[in-house]
Amino acid sequence: VALMFLITITVGLIITKVREKKRDEAIAVPKSHSYAVFSKDSILTPKGIYFSQNHNWVQIETNGNAKIGIDDLLNKALGFFKIVNVCRTGQLVKKGEVIAQIDLNGKSLNIYSPLDGKIISVNKDLIEDAARFKESPYDDDWIVNVEPLNLKENLLSLHIGDEVISWMKNELSRFKDFLSSLSPKAELVGVTLYDGGNISEGVLDFFDQETIKKFEKEFLK
């Protein structure tokens, strides 16, 4: 009788442990419904500003200077991040040179200038309050203000007006393909892509520095 009682207790403990393990595994697997998502319809592309191939926006001011920031696709793909190592005021930059860096929880990406020019001011308020990007990366959320030195030629490579919509749609499609190629495991795909093609906000933070640099090479340079 004592032996049967001991066996019963042991079996009960094993069953309990198995159930607890399954429960913990279920909790550990990311659930898609717990992440905010974005699609082509939720990416903001304000009219009247230019967009560059490296996912910057450029707003020409009445005095001829140009404010530069990052666009909303990059903003949503990153999630929460900080702007660091911004070029100093007075520094001359060429199109394609690094003007700042993004700190994504210890992983870094470069931000490349879409214009030739001289840095005349840096948005210190934005650098000190990274959460401002959460709603919109436009308007007052510029990173640097530049005095352009070759504006007419530089603008030829930028997008504006209706062409922005088709370009951004194509960029989002490329980004989905990029994510799919990096997500062979079903549980990771569940975090990054939804049925219907939506993407989880902050998806880039799921990847390591090597992948982040690959993204930079394909989308930001």
pLDDT digits 0-9 by tens, 153-178: 999 999 999 999 999 999 998 998 89
Tokens of 48: 């009247």
Structural domain span for residue 132 = 36-221
Would 104 be classed as within a structural domain?
yes
Q: Per residue in 66-103, is it b (16+ CB within 10 Å) or e — as a string?
A: bbbbbbbbbbbbbbebbbeebbeeebebebeeebbebe
Mean pLDDT of 102-120: 97
Would 6 be classed as within a structural domain?
no
Mean pLDDT of 12-24: 46
Would 25 be classed as within a structural domain?
no
User: What is the tens place of the pLDDT at every residue in 59-71?
Assistant: 999 999 999 999 9
Would 24 be classed as within a structural domain?
no
- Of 167, 176, 171, the C-alpha closest to 198 is 176
Would 20 be classed as within a structural domain?
no
Would 213 be classed as within a structural domain?
yes
CA distance linking residue 207 with residue 210, whole number of Å: 8
Tell me how many domains the chain contains. 1
Identify the weakest region by mean pLDDT among 10-19, 35-44, 189-198.
Answer: 10-19
Specify the CATH number for the domain of residue 148: 2.40.50.100
Confidence of residue 21 (pLDDT cuts 50, 70, 90): very low
